[in-house]
Structure formats: C-alpha cells, structure tokens
C-alpha cells in the first residue's frame, strides 16, 4: 500500500518534524560515504534540496547534526535489545534473540551501524559518550535479567552482560566486514550457542 506523502503547509514547505527527518536521512548518507571530517553542510543541503540556512535552522552545526544521528542509532539498538529480552521468558531464546538483534542491525542498517561503531570522530568526548551508551545501556538491560534469574551479584551480572554485548557486536561487525560465507541465521546460531554455553551454566535462582 502506498504511503501518503507528508502533509505540507500552504506554502509547500515540509512540516518541521518531517524536514528534520529528511535532513537526518540525507546526512546519514553523506557521513557514511565521506566520514565526518570530509562531509559538509553544503553537500547535505544540496542533496536535501534546501538552502544551507534551512539546515542550520534544525541543527546549529555539523557536530550537532552528527550527534543527532548517533543518538537516533543508539536508541534504535537499545530499544531492540529490550524487545529481544522481552520477546520470551526462555533464557536460551533470549540469548539467541539478542544476538540476532546485533546481526540484523548490521545487515539491515549497516550505514547507521558503521556510524555508531566506526565513527572517525570518537576522540570527541560527546561522540564517545553516545557510542559508549550503546554498550552500557544494552548491558544494563541484559544484566537486569541475569541478576533476576541467578544468584549473582549486580556487579557480576553486569560484567557478564558486557561480555555478551561485546561478543554480539564484535562478531557481527567481523561477519559484515569480512563478507563471511555464512548467512546471517547460521552466524547468529553459532554465536548464540557459544554465548548460551557460557551464560547457561550459571544456576537458575528458581531452580531449587
């Protein structure tokens, strides 16, 4: 079914929220193609079909635009992790669902994934903080489940959760960058089984 076009004002201009979304989509393409330093607001404005002042009406500077993209990508990943954990009460399936999230995000939204994890601006403290939150908040969501289901301390659960997140996103990045002959489902099954063999060995709190 064809989606309706965004409502336009009588002047023919896009509503502010729609324009902002358009600029973010265009900026994502430019930043991924050229990197932060080579990308220009002129290029983004030209591709979006607007004047540069219009871009600045939404984003005061290039870094503000870049951070907005990072934050959107960060929120997508964290929300996906939470959905994966809530999708089942079976912990083995939870592990598989979480690993599938990382690989699906890489495969289906590779551009946004590279922007988050392969930024050429990670020396900037604001950018580094956004990237780090992807790992930290994903791990926090997983650690809550681990702590609830085992007798492990909060610190122990957090360390295991960070390990699972690291395993998932590093394996997914390698799978993408090396153009592995494994298809996504096979890769997810392998990494998920490895993760479960580790985390599944901890006693279930309600097993006694």
For residues 87 and 93, give the distance between their C-alpha atoms in angstroms, rounded to a whole number. Answer: 9
Q: Residue 179: exposed, middle, or buried by beta-carbon count in 10 A (0-12, 13-18, 19+)? A: exposed
Report field, pTM of the whole predicted structure over 0.75: yes
Q: Which residues are CB-contacts of 148 (< 8 A; sequence separation ≥ 6)? A: 205
CA distances from 159 to 74, 139, 143, 165 (A): 21, 8, 8, 10
Residue-by-residue pLDDT tens, the chain, 208 positions: 434 444 444 334 788 899 999 999 999 989 888 888 899 999 999 999 999 999 999 999 999 999 999 888 888 889 999 999 999 999 999 999 999 999 988 887 667 777 777 777 778 898 888 888 989 999 999 999 999 888 889 999 999 999 999 999 899 989 988 888 999 999 999 999 999 999 988 877 654 4
């Amino acid at each position: 079914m064809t989606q309706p076009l965004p409502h336009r004002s009588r002047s023919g201009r896009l509503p502010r929220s729609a324009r902002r979304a358009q600029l973010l989509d265009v900026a994502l393409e430019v930043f991924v193609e050229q990197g932060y330093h080579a990308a220009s607001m002129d290029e983004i404005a030209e591709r979006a079909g607007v004047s540069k002042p219009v871009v600045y009406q939404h984003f005061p500077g290039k870094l503000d635009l870049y951070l907005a993209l990072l934050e959107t990508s960060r929120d997508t990943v964290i929300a996906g992790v939470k959905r994966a954990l809530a999708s089942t009460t079976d912990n083995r399936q939870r592990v598989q669902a979480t690993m599938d999230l990382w690989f699906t995000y890489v495969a289906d939204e590779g551009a946004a994934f590279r922007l988050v994890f392969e930024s050429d601006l990670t020396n900037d403290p604001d950018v580094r903080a956004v990237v780090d939150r992807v790992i930290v908040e994903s791990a926090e969501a997983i650690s809550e489940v681990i702590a609830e289901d085992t007798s492990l301390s909060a610190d122990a659960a957090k360390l295991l959760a960070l390990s699972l997140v690291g395993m998932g996103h590093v394996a997914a990045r390698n799978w993408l960058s090396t153009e592995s002959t494994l298809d996504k489902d096979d890769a997810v099954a392998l990494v998920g089984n490895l993760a479960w063999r580790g985390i599944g060995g901890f006693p279930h709190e309600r097993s006694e």
